[in-house]
Copies of this chain bind each other. A is one copy, B any other.
Amino acid sequence: MLGSEQIEGNDMRRFVALALLPLLIGAAPPAKPKTPSEIIATAPRSDWREIAADDLLVFDFAGNRRVVMQLAPAFAPVHVANIRTLARGGWWDGAKIYRVQDNYVVQWGNNDSGKPPPKGVVAKPPAEYSRRLAGLAITPLGSPDAYAPAAGFAGGWPVAFDRRGGTANLAHCYAMVGVGRDLLPDTGTGGELYAVIGHAPRHLDRNIALVGRIVSGFEAMSSLPRGTEALGFYKDRSSDVPIVRARLAADLPAVERPRFEYLGGLSFGAYRHARANRRDDFFIRPAGGVDLCNVGVPVRAMPKP
């Protein structure tokens, strides 16, 4: 997946060069820069990158509600391999959402059910809380970050990084998914997952394995009733929300397979810039900056084949 992203750093430089071009040749800059939605609407086909079917995990809930998660193998390969094995072994068929903590997380899995994990699941994956910076093509955020020396985007993911230490990590933005764990050295298998439903709890960055994000249907999770027990656990197990099944998109028949793509390339650079400098008619003072988790990488459904 990252191979196709290697051009992003160059794209960013090309984007800046193109943006400066009118000044260099003395032409007037365009009267009205595009808004974020206009950039999405007019982005060329080539700036949209399809997400691999093996990186899409489809959860079906009670009430015909569907949530699609994108996996992040470039950041947590062992946990992601576990999650694929868990899905193929039916781990989430009959699992539950059992925790909803306001302004924090929704959590689901088999918790205290005693269900054994399928064969092939690595019981103690390594602490995939950060990775080497080398190999990632970063589009810089261009604004300061409270949690790391620098922040930006790599392969469509929000990342924080440290050039000196040579490390990078996924960030706990809204709708990002992580692996529930107990105290270390346990890192969690991936059997219990949580998704962020409030302001980014970035203090969890580099302390827990992030493995993906919800790219579709998240409202079905974020609007669930909050649990009233400590940490948002539901008081009665009858409040738990049943999960009917989870399947990798790659394992569904082609005609049923959901497809998604995210915005990259020059268009994403322009989008990030426009999000930091809102100039729609509503705005009188563009911020001139933007938080890593308030850019929102555009992801959209593609027509089925």
Contacts and interface: CB of A to CB of B under 8 A. Distances in A.
A144 interface: yes
A206 interface: yes
Given A141-B146, A183-B281, A203-B278, 19 more contacts: A102-B218, A102-B219, A129-B285, A144-B146, A145-B146, A146-B287, A198-B199, A199-B294, A200-B291, A201-B294, A202-B291, A203-B286, A203-B290, A203-B294, A205-B287, A206-B287, A219-B226, A223-B223, A223-B225
Contact of A174 (B184, B198, B222): B198
Given A146-B144, A146-B145, A203 B103 contact: no
A289 to B, nearest CB: 4
15 contacts: A102-B223, A103-B222, A144-B146, A145-B146, A147-B287, A147-B291, A173-B199, A184-B284, A199-B291, A200-B291, A206-B284, A222-B226, A223-B223, A223-B224, A223-B225
Interface string A158-197: 0000000000000001110000000110000000000000
A275 interface: yes
A111 to B, nearest CB: 18
A143 interface: yes
Interface of A: 100, 102-103, 129, 141, 143-147, 173-175, 183-184, 198-203, 205-207, 218-219, 222-226, 275, 278, 281-287, 289-294
Copy total for this chain: 2
Contacts of A201: 294
Give the top 3 A-B pairs by smallest Cβ distance, nearest first.
A144-B144, A143-B146, A219-B226
Given A146-B144, A223-B224, A294-B200, A207 B282 contact: yes
Contacts of A102: 218-219, 222-223
A182 to B, nearest CB: 9
Contacts of A205: 287
B146 A203 contact: no
B198 A287 contact: no
A175 B199 CA distance: 10
A287 B203 contact: yes
Contacts of A224: 223
A159 to B, nearest CB: 15
A284 B275 CA distance: 33
Contacts of A292: 146
Given A207-B283, A278-B203, A294-B203, A103 B146 contact: no
A249 B291 CA distance: 36
Given A102-B219, A183-B281, A223-B225, A291 B198 contact: no
Contacts of A143: 146-147
